[in-house]
Amino acid sequence: MNRSNKSKTYANLALPGMIAVGLIWSLGLLGFGLLRNLQQPESLTDQSQPLPGQQLSKYSLFAQVPEVPLGRFKYSGSPDWSPIRLVVDSAIQAERREYQLSYVQPVDKAVNSTTAIELLLQDKLSFVQSGRPLRPAEIQRAQEKGYNLQQTPVAMDGIAIAVHPSLPIKGLTLSDLAKIYQGQVTNWQQLGGPNLKIQPYSLSVQAEETVDLFLEQVMKGKSYGRSLEFLPTMTESLRQLAASPGGIFFGSAAEIIPQCSIKPLAIAEDDQPWISPYQAPYVSSTNCPNQRNRINAQAFITQQYPLTHQLYVIYKAGETENPGNAYAQLLLSHQGQELLDKAGFVGILKHSRGKLP
């Protein structure tokens, strides 16, 4: 995965800029960058502590969270967090004015968890919004610099599979998906659908987390087929899929499930029943946007849905008045968890609160 290292100049975006970025996402215009060369990613298997939902947060409101430091703090991270930056971070800024956040975006590098963790290791950030757990090499680099990195899970996301709304396919197995993206299955008729050529799409691998997780959990080390078409942005991917009756695409569940122009599919382990990424009953495109599909919170928090993963706040452990720990605790408050739900994710404490929608 080629990443330019020529420039070390980064643009600090203050709150208005951060909100502007979030608003762009909400209109479906968020870009993930240009196509980079493929290589097998380092394993992203989640080896963190179990879900912390057994213990309810002591704090209901942002105003009650203690030890929130005074100052302006820089952060960056995965594009999958863009809805959170819009919905949650803006609310934190409105209520905890002493705690100011500045989003840092690399000028000439991909915007993802890897580049953000690199900035954290260079002491240029206070914390990272990550779509994956820390890799062993990152933990080792931090230890060589004399500190430990803490990763705190705060929400659940997943990979959703989407097709054209007119395609009469209700679900796929992970094996079906792998065969489609390997180029072994090329017509929907082979999967019980119409006689229609399959056109698989993917975001650029610069999107990192979702693409890497798909390569690991679905492809399992096998190569993509020649028919796979890479698209540079989520907006372009959704537009292309909406115009392609035989198309198929995967991406962040939080972004795909509420879309009106495409249809998310149920997914199954090869010998297990299908699990829908959205709550039943399904809201058809004809009823959208007056109604929208919502994420299947129970299936995600219990990890019954096969392609779930956690979102993490990553920061240096042990610091006094730690801005990263403060941010994690704000997100783990009842108010933070409810706002994460509104942003389209699943608050990680949801099953303890007993408010599954």
High-pLDDT (> 90) share of the chain, %: 71
Residues 336 and 232 in one domain: no
Q: Are residues 180 and 243 in the same domain?
A: yes
Among 20-24, 239-243, 308-312, the least confident range? 20-24
* Domain assignment of residue 306, yes or no: no
Q: Are residues 293 and 166 in the same domain?
A: yes
Q: State yes or no: pLDDT of 337 exceeds 50.
A: yes
175 and 274 inside one domain = yes
Tell whether 256 is covered by a domain. yes
Torsion of CA 257, 172, 46, 316, to 10 degrees: -20
Do 165 and 281 belong to one domain?
yes
Chain segment 28-78, per-residue pLDDT in tens? 333 333 233 333 334 343 433 444 443 568 899 999 999 999 999 999 999
Do residues 221 and 344 share a domain? no
In this structure, the answer to whether residues 220 and 142 fall within a common structural domain is no
Instruction: Look up the CATH number of the domain holding residue 342.
Output: 3.40.190.10
Q: Are residues 127 and 192 in the same domain?
A: no
Helix (H), strand (E) at residue 314: strand 308-316
Q: How many CA atoms lie within 13 A of 303 on its CB side?
A: 8
Among 301, 323, 342, where does a domain finish?
301
Asked if residue 1 belongs to a domain, the reply is no
pLDDT tens for 123-150 read 999 999 999 999 999 999 999 999 999 9
166 and 274 assigned to the same domain = yes
pLDDT of residue 56: 64
Question: Rounded to an integer, what distance in angstroms lies between the CA atom of residue 283 and that of residue 295?
Answer: 12
Arithmetic mean of pLDDT, 267-291:
93
- Please indicate, yes or no, whether residues 282 and 267 belong to a single structural domain of this protein: yes
Q: DSSP letter at 197?
A: B
17, two tokens: 């800029």
pTM above 0.75, yes or no: yes
Answer yes or no: do 212 and 292 share one domain. yes
Number of domains making up the chain: 2
**Residue 327 resides in a domain:** yes
Q: Is residue 56 part of a domain?
A: yes
Whether residue 263 is predicted with pLDDT greater than 70 in this model: the reply is: yes
Q: Are residues 284 and 146 in the same domain?
A: no
Phi-psi group of 146: left, alpha or beta (phi > 0 → left; psi -120 to 50 → alpha; rest → beta): left
In a domain, 237, yes or no: yes
* Domain assignment present for 206: yes
**What is residue 209's predicted lDDT score, i.e. its pLDDT?**
81
Task: With respect to residue 4, please indicate whether it lies within any of the assigned structural domains.
Answer: no
Domain of residue 336, residue span = 10-156+313-353
